[in-house]
Amino acid sequence: MSQRTGQSSVEDKPVGQKPVIPETPAPEEKTYQDTMRKFWFAAGIAVPVLLLSLPDYFPTLREMMMGWHSAASIAAALLSLPVLVWSGGSFFMGAWNSFRNHNANMDTLVALGTGSAWLYSAVYAVAPSLFPAEAAGMFFDVAVIVIALVLLGQALEAKARGQSSEAIKKLLELQAKTARVIRDGKELDIPVEQVQVGDSVLVRPGEKVPVDGVILTGESALDESVVTGESVPTDKRPGDSVIGASLNKTGAFTFRATKVGKDTALAQIVQMVAQAQTSKAPIGKLVDVVSGYFVPTVVILAVLAFLVWFNLGPSLNFAVVAMVTVLVIACPCALGLATPMSLMVGVGKAAQNGVLIRNGEALENASHLKVLVLDKTGTITKGQPALTDVLPLADYNAETLLTLAAIADRRSEHPLAQAIVQGAADRGLVLAEPQSFQALPGEGVQATVDQKTIFVGNAKLMTNQGIDLTALSTLTERLADEGKTPMFVAVDGKAAGVIAVADTIKQDSLIAIRTLQQMGIEVVMITGDNQRTAQAIAHQVGITRVLAEVLPADKASMVKTLQQEQQKTKGLVGMVGDGINDAPALAQADVGFAIGTGTDVAIEAADVTLVGGNLRSLVYAIEISRATLNNIRQNLFGAFIYNTLGIPFAAGVFYPLFGVLLSPILAGGAMALSSITVVTNANRLRSFVLPPLTEVKP
């Protein structure tokens, strides 16, 4: 291989010095650390402020302190001010920015609640003569403790967000740190970041594949579960692709690097999941709209509570407490967390199982699917022909017939011929070279094997050679009904039997399709094959509605027609495909699912990528979407109920019955607890497991 410009840097740099994962904390971790520092500062100040505020809770103690009470109040004001400025500064800045944009949010409520409590108390501490005697009492401790509690809730939220991305961190940590490349005939161990496209890379048993590529020499079994979610090792031969971060289980091999750095499959997965976790689902946008009305309503209710109790209540302090408590308890922290927390956990969980969801809208739409259109080739079937039947006539046995046909086809490059050769090899047959060989375009092949003239091909070939196929007519009709392609074999001018080749059904297609139908989803198969072949495949997997003989350009219009059929019931239509010709249909569908083993164009056009390339992942994608959306609904219900029930208690509606008014401090604790409840509920998705798929008999 030619000398590369980057080789000098290879020799200058020690191996493995450049870490794959940055040493700097993740954004969530940094937010958590910063918030906890502010919390501990507020909590530390809260202790002396609370001690200085004890006279306000115990009139006897206030009388004992006499002149010291005013000094204690001023000391509490000075101690608590840094908490509002530094620990709570983000709330006041957020409230001011919202006010400038003619908006209101959670920061507005926290800033109004704590700010009004501190300002009221500060004015009273400096000029108590301005207030009536019954207004004695201050709320510096309330301002400090509420800020501390809100910060604690935010810190726990940040911690939970970081844990939600733990799956992505683990994926990144599973990358190989170094690679063994072959340059100018020499093996060089270099950091994985220095691997270049086109490099030949050597991987030994037990090592990780450093980057994406295509095998040049050698065979092995690779554990690709870090990317696909499939724990069963995949056999790899020359020409097969390998995924970076997968584990080489058995043999050694060399491969050519095709994608490095941010272009590798693993890097793309991390980027897609990160984008999806920060996106918004349609149900989350509804929350934004509701919050836009909710916060101003709360401010109005707080003012009303103050005015009512100012005129009817026992004291001015009572009215202030009611107003502050309403503002604090109504902070929509839990409401704002309800959707993003569930979305982060759900998308991360899906990625761990080989399902890449592009955004929140795709996740929500997947939970509403009523119709799924499956492309036949490469989705239901493997997308490559395979030997299925060997049916000899009386003068031959199956082994002899297959051996003769495979030897005759050895030099052919036709996919059907290669399927016969591979089928013979899989059965352990020893194949010699034919004495002569001739390809007959559009018909088959002619070869000499053991001094016998062998013809292998279609009915046209046999007719042109004058070979009678009457004895095989019943067999060929049955094979055609099963969706198989018959290849006739003739020896020395006489029919010897028929060998069937077909694009075989994937092992998990039947069970996945039956499961989808049990989930209430209509499964439709679409294909360019003729009606007879299409019906045969559909019958095998239990699909009753088939769209056959559909040209690639017409697939999108067929999906659109199905969408129009679903308009009355508001059901959504999904499309599953893997080829370039599927891309328009994937884009047209409400949710496009791309088989990860397919083309880059199809994957780019899709909303969800099934990395493992099987339909079990399709079932998982829909089930995790439904589970995530249910989790979001639970969170939203809990948050709305909390605010709906909490505000009347905070406003003192039940004071005439119970004679007790809710404390702002308790309100702050309850608000933080509601956020923790939402986070805890969202994290239940971490334990989501798809129930075992059990086959249903036709």
**pLDDT tens digit string along 241-265?**
888 888 888 889 999 999 988 888 7
* Per-position b or e across 194-220, b if 16+ CB within 10 A of its CB: bbbeebbbbbeeeebbbbbbebeebeb
DSSP E strands in 427-527: the ranges are: 436-440, 444-449, 452-457, 485-491, 494-505, 522-526
Return the CATH number of the domain spanning residue range 386-504. 3.40.1110.10
Which range (49-53, 80-84, 277-281, 598-602) has the least confidence? 598-602
Which CA distances in Å does 564 have to 374, 561, 607?
Answer: 18, 5, 20
Q: Which residues does 331 contact at the CB level (< 8 Å), separation at least 6?
A: 106, 109, 110, 113, 150, 671
Rounded Cα distance, 680 and 377, in Å:
43
Rounded Cα distance, 351 and 544, in Å:
32
pLDDT of residue 546: 92
Burial category of 637 from C-beta neighbours within 10 Å (exposed 0-12, middle 13-18, buried 19 and up): exposed
pLDDT of residue 7: 36
Return the CATH number of the domain spanning residue range 7-18+174-259. 2.70.150.10
Which residue has tokens 């997997």?
541
pLDDT of residue 371: 95
Strand 381-392 and strand 241-242: pairing?
unpaired
Which range (147-151, 222-226, 239-243, 428-432) has the least confidence? 222-226
pTM, whole model, 2 decimals? 0.68
Q: Which residues does 644 contact at the CB level (< 8 Å), separation at least 6?
A: none
Q: Please identify which of the residues 56, 141, 212, 375 carries the catalytic annotation.
A: 375
Which of 443, 449, 379, 452 minimizes the C-alpha distance to 416?
443
At 106-161, the pLDDT tens digits run 777 778 778 877 887 888 788 776 655 544 556 788 788 878 877 876 776 677 66
Residue ranges per domain, the chain?
7-18+174-259, 27-164, 265-356+621-698, 357-381+506-620, 386-504
Residue type, 223: D
Query: Rounded mean pLDDT of 366-372?
Result: 94
Give the distance from CA 288 to its chain's centroid: 23
pLDDT surpasses 70 at 281: no
pLDDT surpasses 60 at 25: no
pLDDT of residue 330: 74
pLDDT of residue 456: 95
Which of 278, 164, 288, 264 minimizes the C-alpha distance to 212?
264
Q: Which residues does 562 contact at the CB level (< 8 Å), separation at least 6?
A: 371, 373, 524, 573
Q: Is 503 a catalytic residue?
A: no
Q: Which fold has domain 357-381+506-620?
A: Rossmann fold (3.40.50)
pLDDT surpasses 80 at 661: no
Of the pLDDT bands very low, low, confident and very high (cuts 50, 70, 90), residue 494 is very high
Strand 591-595 and strand 572-577: pairing?
parallel
